[in-house]
Amino acid sequence: MSLIIKGGTVVTADSETRADVYVEGETIRAIGLDLDVPGGTRVIDAGGCYVMPGGIDPHTHMELPFMGTTASEDFFTGTSAAAAGGTTMIIDFAIPNPGQSLLEAWHAWRGWAEKSASDYSLHVAVTWWDDTVHAEMKTLCEEHGVNSFKHFMAYKGAIMADDEVLVNSFTRAAELGALCTVHAENGELVFQLQKRIFEMGIHGPEGHPLSRPPEVEGEAANRAIRIAEVLGTPLYLVHTSCKDALEAITRARLEGQRVFGEVLAQHLVIDDSVYRDPDWNTAAHHVMSPPFRSKEHQEALWRGLAAGMLQTTATDHCCFCTPQKQAGLDDFRKIPNGTGGVEDRMAVLWHHGVNTGRLTPSEFVAVTSTNCARIFNLYPKKGAVAVGADADLVVWDPQGTRTISKDTHHQNIDFNIYEGMTVQGVPAITLSRGRVLWADGQLHTERGTGRYVDRPCAAPYWGAIRKTNARRAPTPVQRKR
Ligand code: URQ
Ligand code: ZN
Ligand code: ZN
């Protein structure tokens, strides 16, 4: 099957060009004007629109078992909602319980993800340590296309990685040429502050942000960065939510350390006033970690994103419906942490980023797709409008508008954190490897058409670990007896 996307402006991370895009089967075959295409080629009219790489969301948790329940969005409904929003690939997480085989967890998540409607890959979390973890990290890298290992520095008593796990895992990842990623919050501080806040009689969702202030994230971000620096491991900080963590990333990057930062779309536009909403359910639906911050942090995050100190945007899509959130009715510590957003990320970033002048269309492509593809070694198969790349494309209508609502979204959750937000700039058509998943305001997704995407180690984008490699190997002092 062949199709040509005609009349659009192709936007890549580097340029904007008036050009048509010809797709044969699953692959982009030609880009240019006056292309000579076979008879019977399907024509997609992109007049007045941009043609961009499909979004890649490097941080989702479809059907995650967590805090005594399971996230309500599964891999089919989640990748379908993603397509409705212009995102054509997700990177989710296989998260073993402490003591559980990493390989076993990876296989379990692979099974759940089979139903995906678009392509996916899996980070693997290191939640404990012994020789089997050391061995399985190598197997995952060499035989299962894993090049990134996640470490939760929060969630004490559950999946928290302490310094011993961090040092062992970062060391192993450096040997394997893999990237380490961290959820940077000091889990011990959170645990103690939660207890202290609860004992002060604060039991509602307003207690959540009080127990994890920006300093708690800043400390962990800096600690992870310093450990990675000493061990020579490239590091990626997920959901950077505050100035404290951004400053740690900026310092490291300016000193030549290979550190990457991710910011969630929601942390850029929603502030912590949500936790004082008089409606318990509304406040609880915003309980996620790190929490929403005061407005000053948002402007700093926008500047960090535009300045290239933060490279990717994500959603941490981890949905819990109202009855699930109500597990914490009497104790905010029991509210399952997570929000939705996989469908809204691109439009929210275009409206608040491009329409305001904070981001150019090319920078938008970089932070929603291309940078992620380069960091996780998917480029140029993914994250590119280039001959030979997968035809993961979005025809973006900069004039189209949408008012975001739980009543009209395609996400399997009974709440939307962007409820009532009207955005200008929406996906008109979304294609995954040449297959139309979204058009005319309708989903055309099918269970199981998504594929697992291998991510080889030693991504060229990580480059030499400049600062650490500069350290000379220590030598013993020769002493006379
Ligand atoms: O911490 C995460 O990234 C997972 C458990 C989703 N929940 C959240 O609050 N961010
Ligand atoms: Zn996290
Ligand atoms: Zn997460």
Q: Express each pLDDT in 126-150 by its tens digit.
A: 999 999 999 999 999 999 999 999 9
This prediction's pTM: 0.98
- pLDDT value at residue 472: 62
Closest ligand, as measured to the CA of 64:
1
Q: Given a cut of 70, is residue 466 above it in pLDDT?
A: no
- CA 63 to ligand 1 center in whole angstroms: 12
- CA 324 to ligand 1 center in whole angstroms: 15
| Residue partners of 168: CB distance under 8 A and separation at least 6 | 129, 133, 134
How many Cα atoms within 13 Å fall on the side-chain side of residue 439?
A: 13
- CA 183 to ligand 1 center in whole angstroms: 8
- pLDDT value at residue 311: 98
- pLDDT value at residue 467: 46
Neighbours of ion ligand 2 (CB under 5 A): 183
Neighbours of ion ligand 3 (CB under 5 A): 316
Residue identifier of the C-alpha nearest atom 3 of ligand 1: 316
Mean pLDDT over the full length of the chain: 97
- CA 427 to ligand 2 center in whole angstroms: 28
Looking from the CA of residue 287, the nearest atom of ligand 1 is: 9
- pLDDT value at residue 74: 98
Closest ligand, as measured to the CA of 58:
3
CA separation for the pair 167, 294 (Å, rounded): 33
- pLDDT value at residue 458: 84
Closest ligand, as measured to the CA of 151:
2
Q: Given a cut of 90, is residue 464 above it in pLDDT?
A: no
- Structural domain total, the chain: 1
Q: Given a cut of 90, is residue 247 above it in pLDDT?
A: yes
Closest ligand, as measured to the CA of 184:
2
Residue identifier of the C-alpha nearest atom 1 of ligand 1: 289
Looking from the CA of residue 318, the nearest atom of ligand 1 is: 6
Residue identifier of the C-alpha nearest atom 4 of ligand 1: 338
Please state, in angstroms and as integers, the Cα–Cα distance from residue 323 to each residue in 280, 341, 407, following that order. 12, 19, 17
Q: Given a cut of 60, is residue 450 above it in pLDDT?
A: yes
- CA 308 to ligand 3 center in whole angstroms: 22
Residue identifier of the C-alpha nearest atom 10 of ligand 1: 289
- pLDDT value at residue 289: 98
- pLDDT tens digit sequence for 171-208: 999 999 999 999 999 999 999 999 999 999 999 999 99
CA separation for the pair 76, 69 (Å, rounded): 19
Closest ligand, as measured to the CA of 60:
3
Q: What is the mean pLDDT of residues 385-411?
A: 98
Cα 217 versus chain centre, distance = 18
* Long-range CB contacts for residues 387-390, cutoff 8 Å, separation at least 24: 387/28, 387/29, 387/30, 387/31, 388/27, 388/28, 389/27, 389/28, 389/53, 390/26, 390/27, 390/28, 390/119, 390/433
- CA 422 to ligand 3 center in whole angstroms: 26
Q: Given a cut of 60, is residue 468 above it in pLDDT?
A: no
Q: Given a cut of 60, is residue 469 above it in pLDDT?
A: no
- pLDDT tens digit sequence for 212-243: 999 999 999 999 999 999 999 999 999 999 99
- pLDDT value at residue 112: 98
Q: Which of 471, 474, 473, 467 is nearest to 233 (CA)?
A: 467
Q: What is the mean pLDDT of residues 271-294?
A: 98
Q: What is the mean pLDDT of residues 324-340?
A: 98
Residue identifier of the C-alpha nearest atom 6 of ligand 1: 338
Pocket of ligand 1 (CB under 6 A): 61, 66, 183, 288-289, 316, 318, 337-338
Compute how many other C-beta atoms are within 10 angstroms of the C-beta atom of residue 165: 19
CATH number where 162 lies: 3.20.20.140
> 57, 288, 319, 339: which to mutate for ligand 1, most atoms within 8 A of CB?
288
- pLDDT tens digit sequence for 55-104: 999 999 999 999 999 999 999 999 999 999 999 999 999 999 999 999 99
Q: What is the mean pLDDT of residues 441-450?
A: 98
Domain with 149 in it: 1-481
> 57, 92, 183, 274: which to mutate for ligand 1, most atoms within 8 A of CB?
183
Task: List, in sequence order, the alpha helices (H) in 409-473.
Answer: 466-469
